[in-house]
Chains A and B, each alone.
Chain A
Amino acid sequence: MSKIENQIVDLIAQKKSADIHVQTLGNFQIWRDGEKVSAKEWGRDKTIQLFQFLVTARHRHSLHKEQIVDRLWEDADGKTADQNFKVALHGINKVLEPNRPSRTEPKYILRQGITYQLNLEKIWIDTEAVEKFIALGNQALGDAPDVAIKAYQEAIELYGGIYLPNRLYEDWSSEERERLQILSLGAMITLSELLVEKNPMESIRFAQKALLIDHAWEDAYRVQMEAYLQKGNRPMAIKTYQQCEKVLEEEFGIEPLPETQQLLSKIKGIKAV
């Protein structure tokens, strides 16, 4: 097995071995030692929100308490906000480590002075895994397309929908949502392209998955046309072009790119069997 293949296997194994699993894509759920944490255990919504905020900010260095409070309790005065933060933090630690002995340091929320961050070595987060699988896919793309396919498939299986859908209207979550969506769209299109000849039906499935995220993503229509062509299904390839043309006109008032139009000409030029 190559180095990248080993890394893929390790990444899959990490999910199984981690004590805490966090799902943020398509839905928000946490599993502690394999058991789903109920809404009742979380208690207040602000406790969940603080945890989600720490997940969202996981790539930054430790967050200063003031930075957190300013975003989550912007309307509260200093003393109240401080108290709310303490309550929510206590709530998180209770959910993640219900049996932690008193006077011991929390294992999953690391604190240094008045800065806080998640311990990513002990918590498995779906978004982290998606990013790592896509990065491995990108690395393997040139020399080992089969390995790249495996990595992208793992990533896309994990992409269950938009990031933290219950925080759609919170601006602190928007940047991460957009970043992950574009990253996943790119992976879906690349995977779809890789599968055109090898497995056109799978190629179509991934292209359609991309269109569920963004129905005006022209690359997804084009690769789908190629896959239908590969299967010898001209009518569906032409129908896909027509859908693309209609959507682009409605959404942007533009025509498909010359590349897509040329593909249509190629499809029309092939005589029906």
Chain B
Amino acid sequence: MSVKKDETASFMLRFTQKIFKNDQGEPQVQWRGNIRHVQGGDEKRFSEFDDAVNFIQGKLAEMTIQQMEDKSPEEQKGILSKSFDLWKKMTLNAPKMVMETIKDPKKGVENIQKEFQEVGEAISQKVEETIAQRKVDVDEWRGVSKSDHNSMMELMEKMSNEISALNKKVNKLSKK
């Protein structure tokens, strides 16, 4: 994957709503999604919003790592850790935001934009703080190379995808 602009990541998110009746004649709603990382061209389909969140997280982590090339491993660890903390906050709020979007699309979209903006600003601020204060604990991260980081990220993404696939299977089985 080639990332052209290392400071910007844009995502095109598509939701398709399917309303149908189940065997009992009860109305059901299904969401099918597609997310594309504009600068890299990779895309992923999803029926669980968590998959989209994981996709975004993976791409942002790649971008963060690329931007930290010249930083020491200690600084890199601190930045990544802060970035993940903020992203965790985002993912906790995401399902609620999606529900709000379904109930009131206009308001929901405004909330999502606000949340993304806040997280983006907070990440920038934390990155600056971390670099400036150099408040990082080192030890096990000392000497970790960029390729180690990349391998770790790939592994995390793979694990996350596998967990997601397992969840789907469990859900499917529990419905039967």
Q: Which residues of A contact B (CB under 8 A)?
A: 168-171, 174-175, 178, 182, 214, 216, 218, 251-254, 257-259
Known contacts A178-B14, A253-B168; is A171 also within 8 Å of B20 by CB? no
- Bound: A259/B22 CA distance, A: 10
Is the pair B32, A257 in contact by a Cβ cutoff of 8 Å?
Answer: no
Interface bracket on B: 20 to 34
- Bound: A24/B52 CA distance, A: 30
Is the pair A258, B10 in contact by a Cβ cutoff of 8 Å?
Answer: no
Encoded as 1 (CB less than 8 Å from any A CB) or 0, chain B from 32 to 47 comes to 1010101111000111
Residues of A contacting B14 with CB < 8 Å? Answer: 178, 182
Is the pair A258, B20 in contact by a Cβ cutoff of 8 Å?
Answer: yes
Cβ of B4 under 8 Å from chain A: yes
Encoded as 1 (CB less than 8 Å from any A CB) or 0, chain B from 1 to 35 comes to 00010001010101000101111000000101010
Known contacts A254-B30, A257-B18; is A174 also within 8 Å of B41 by CB? no
Known contacts A252-B32, A252-B45, A252-B46; is A169 also within 8 Å of B22 by CB? no
Give the most central of B10, B22, B38: most A CB within 10 Å.
B38
Cβ of B165 under 8 Å from chain A: yes
Residues of A contacting B10 with CB < 8 Å? Answer: 171, 174
- Bound: A182/B39 CA distance, A: 20
Known contacts A253-B168, A254-B30, A257-B20; is A169 also within 8 Å of B4 by CB? yes
In the complex formed, the residue of B with least CB distance to A173 is: B38
Residues of B contacting A169 with CB < 8 Å? Answer: 4, 38-41
Q: Which 8 A-B pairs have CB atoms at the shortest separation, nearest pair first? A: A171-B10, A253-B168, A252-B47, A251-B45, A171-B38, A174-B38, A174-B12, A257-B20
Is the pair B20, A259 in contact by a Cβ cutoff of 8 Å?
Answer: yes
Interface SS of chain B: mixed
Known contacts A169-B4, A169-B41, A254-B30; is A178 also within 8 Å of B12 by CB? yes
11 A-B residue pairings within 8 Å (CB atoms): A169-B4, A169-B39, A169-B41, A171-B39, A174-B12, A216-B32, A218-B18, A252-B32, A253-B172, A254-B32, A257-B20
- Bound: A175/B13 CA distance, A: 10
Residues of A contacting B18 with CB < 8 Å? Answer: 218, 257
Residues of B contacting A170 with CB < 8 Å? Answer: 38
Q: Which residues of B contact A (CB under 8 A)?
A: 4, 8, 10, 12, 14, 18, 20-23, 30, 32, 34, 36, 38-41, 45-47, 165, 168-169, 172
Is the pair B22, A258 in contact by a Cβ cutoff of 8 Å?
Answer: yes
Residues of A contacting B4 with CB < 8 Å? Answer: 169
Interface SS of chain A: helix
From B23, B38, B39, A258 is in contact (CB under 8 Å) with B23
Known contacts A168-B41, A169-B40, A171-B39; is A254 also within 8 Å of B47 by CB? yes
- Bound: A70/B33 CA distance, A: 31
B76 to chain A, nearest CB (A): 25
B119 to chain A, nearest CB (A): 18
- Bound: A168/B38 CA distance, A: 7
Is the pair A216, B45 in contact by a Cβ cutoff of 8 Å?
Answer: yes
- Bound: A214/B23 CA distance, A: 28
In the complex formed, the residue of B with least CB distance to A253 is: B168
In the complex formed, the residue of A with least CB distance to B22 is: A258
In the complex formed, the residue of B with least CB distance to A258 is: B20
Residues of B contacting A174 with CB < 8 Å? Answer: 10, 12, 36, 38
- Bound: A257/B21 CA distance, A: 9
Residues of A contacting B34 with CB < 8 Å? Answer: 214
A82 to chain B, nearest CB (A): 22
- Bound: A216/B169 CA distance, A: 20
In the complex formed, the residue of B with least CB distance to A252 is: B47
Known contacts A169-B38, A169-B40, A171-B38; is A258 also within 8 Å of B12 by CB? no
B31 to chain A, nearest CB (A): 10
Residues of A contacting B20 with CB < 8 Å? Answer: 257-259
A8 to chain B, nearest CB (A): 29
Is the pair A253, B165 in contact by a Cβ cutoff of 8 Å?
Answer: yes
B105 to chain A, nearest CB (A): 16
In the complex formed, the residue of A with least CB distance to B3 is: A169
In the complex formed, the residue of B with least CB distance to A254 is: B47
